[in-house]
């Protein structure tokens, strides 16, 4: 911070940057020159005059005559700065603190060949990645993890509040990330459960997005859903694509039908979650928004004000000018006859 005697404190930018706690004192500054003007009028009428005749050439104006205005000027400035000090100039910094008890969310994303169907543009997988990223952006203080699955399942991202990391991992998902063909929904649920089962969060959610055609894995999806319910994990299932839509070829070169919504409905029912079916990207986006509302976290905002007072700066200016005024009156500058 600048020294109190710095001229920065007198600049227009500094003065206009303040919040004034008692601004009505500033109006008193207008009255200061008026008081001196009235004093001059009434004092001039009341003082005694001694009429002495001088020739014009004999009347000389001394520079001391002008200096005699300095005491009044200093005292006027001192009173003005005193009023500025009484107005209490302040700088207020507001801070918002948002408090929330986040929940735990695992995104289980199907990356099997059937997710390459283009009934959602550019395809199901890319649509799912985009909307999942938007969902992550809308969360606050939640721990989010990512599981991917095809013929096998594995953790792509552990539970974390580092949303940039989560989004990077989602963006890294490619069609060949898992080479084993098939769709192991039960295994994906098991991995989702493993991420959350030992945590102490009051709310645990798994969002499983797939075409619903369980063709791989050793764990039955419904059994996995019952296990999720036992651990207090709600599973929201999203069936992506149209029923009976076909993909031209799987990895064996055979055409196949997809979207078996029955198993997804049963998973949601067994885990006290909810099933959604979407046929286009906009519907998928609306589903994630709905889940976002269903799992809304109560956020409490507290506002704090950091108040810095600067009245002491202008009080020092006031005292300095008042002392200068009194000092000037006690020297040859003062007009003893008029005082």
Beta bridge partners of 95: 304
Q: What is the pLDDT of residue 179?
A: 87
Residue 191: how many CB atoms within 10 A of its CB? 23
Q: What is the pLDDT of residue 299?
A: 58
62: its two tokens? 């001394």
Three-state secondary structure of 100-164? ECCCEEEEEEECCHHHHCCCCCCCHHHHHHHHHHHHHHCCCCCEEEEEEECCCEEEEEEEECCHH
* Those residues with Cβ within 8 angstroms of residue 150's Cβ, 6 or more apart along the chain or in another chain: 110, 111, 112, 113, 177, 178, 180, 181, 182, 183, 184, 216
First to last CA, the chain: 42
Chain-centroid distance, C-alpha 94 = 12
Q: What is the pLDDT of residue 43?
A: 60
Q: What percent of the chain has pLDDT over 70?
A: 79
Q: What is the pLDDT of residue 208?
A: 96
Average pLDDT over residues 105-124: 88
Lowest mean pLDDT among 156-160, 200-204, 286-290: 200-204
* DSSP-derived secondary structure for 285-310: HHHHHHHHHHTPPPEEEEEEEEEEE-
| pLDDT tens per residue across span 294-331 | 877 665 666 777 889 999 999 999 999 999 988 888 77
Residue 88: pLDDT above 50?
yes
* DSSP-derived secondary structure for 57-110: GG----HHHHHTTHHHHHHHHHHHHHHHHHT-EEEEEEEEEEEE---EEEEEEE
Q: What is the pLDDT of residue 337?
A: 46
| pLDDT tens per residue across span 29-69 | 988 888 877 776 766 555 555 555 555 555 455 556 667 77
Closest listed residue to residue 108, CA positions, set 264, 242, 311: 264
Cα–Cα dist 310/75, whole Å: 21
Closest listed residue to residue 158, CA positions, set 144, 174, 137, 178: 144
Q: What percent of the chain has pLDDT over 90?
A: 46
Q: What is the pTM of this model?
A: 0.60
Residue that wins the pLDDT comparison between 332 and 37: 37
120: its two tokens? 């959602």
Cα–Cα dist 223/238, whole Å: 18
Average pLDDT over residues 120-139: 90
Average pLDDT over residues 79-87: 94
- Structural domains in the chain, sorted by start: 7-94+305-329 (no CATH), 102-297 (3.40.50.410)
Q: What is the pLDDT of residue 158?
A: 94
Residue 201: pLDDT above 60?
yes
Q: Are 84 and 26 in contact (CB under 8 A)?
A: yes
Cα-flanking dihedrals φ and ψ of residue 33, to 5°? Answer: -65, -30
Q: Are 244 and 257 in contact (CB under 8 A)?
A: yes
| Highest mean pLDDT of the ranges 53-67, 143-157, 244-258, 271-285 | 143-157
Q: What is the pLDDT of residue 209?
A: 93
Average pLDDT over residues 190-194: 96
Cα–Cα dist 110/188, whole Å: 9
Q: What is the pLDDT of residue 318?
A: 94
């Amino acid at each position: 911070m600048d020294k109190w005697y710095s001229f920065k404190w007198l600049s227009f930018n500094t003065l206009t940057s303040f919040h004034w706690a008692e601004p009505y004192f500033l109006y008193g500054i207008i009255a200061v020159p008026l008081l001196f003007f009235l004093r001059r009028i009434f004092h001039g009428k009341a003082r005694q005059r001694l009429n002495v005749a001088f020739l014009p050439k004999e009347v000389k104006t001394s520079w001391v005559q002008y200096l005699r205005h300095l005491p009044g000027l200093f005292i006027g400035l001192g009173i003005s700065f005193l009023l500025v000090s009484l107005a209490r100039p302040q700088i207020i910094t507001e801070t918002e603190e948002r408090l929330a008890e986040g929940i735990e969310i695992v995104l289980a994303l199907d990356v099997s060949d059937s997710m390459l169907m283009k009934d959602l543009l550019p395809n199901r997988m890319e649509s799912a990645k985009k909307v999942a990223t938007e969902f992550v952006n809308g969360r606050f203080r939640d721990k989010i993890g990512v599981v991917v699955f095809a013929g096998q399942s594995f953790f792509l991202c552990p539970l974390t509040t580092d949303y940039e990391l989560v989004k990077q991992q989602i963006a890294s998902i490619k069609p060949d990330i898992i080479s084993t063909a098939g769709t192991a929904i039960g295994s994906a649920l098991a991995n989702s459960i493993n991420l959350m089962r030992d945590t102490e969060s009051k709310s645990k959610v798994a969002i499983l997005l797939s075409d619903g055609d369980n063709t791989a894995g050793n764990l039955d999806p419904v059994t996995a859903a019952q296990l999720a319910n036992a651990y207090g994990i709600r599973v929201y299932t999203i069936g992506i694509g149209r029923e009976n839509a076909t993909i031209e070829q799987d990895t064996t070169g055979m055409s196949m039908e997809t979207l078996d919504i029955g198993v997804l409905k049963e998973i949601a029912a067994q885990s006290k979650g909810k099933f959604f079916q979407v046929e286009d990207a906009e519907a998928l986006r609306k589903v994630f928004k709905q889940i976002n509302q269903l799992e809304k976290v109560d956020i409490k905002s507290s506002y704090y004000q950091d108040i810095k007072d600067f009245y002491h700066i202008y009080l020092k200016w006031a005292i300095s000018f008042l002392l200068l005024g009194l000092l000037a009156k006690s020297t040859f500058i003062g007009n003893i006859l008029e005082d």
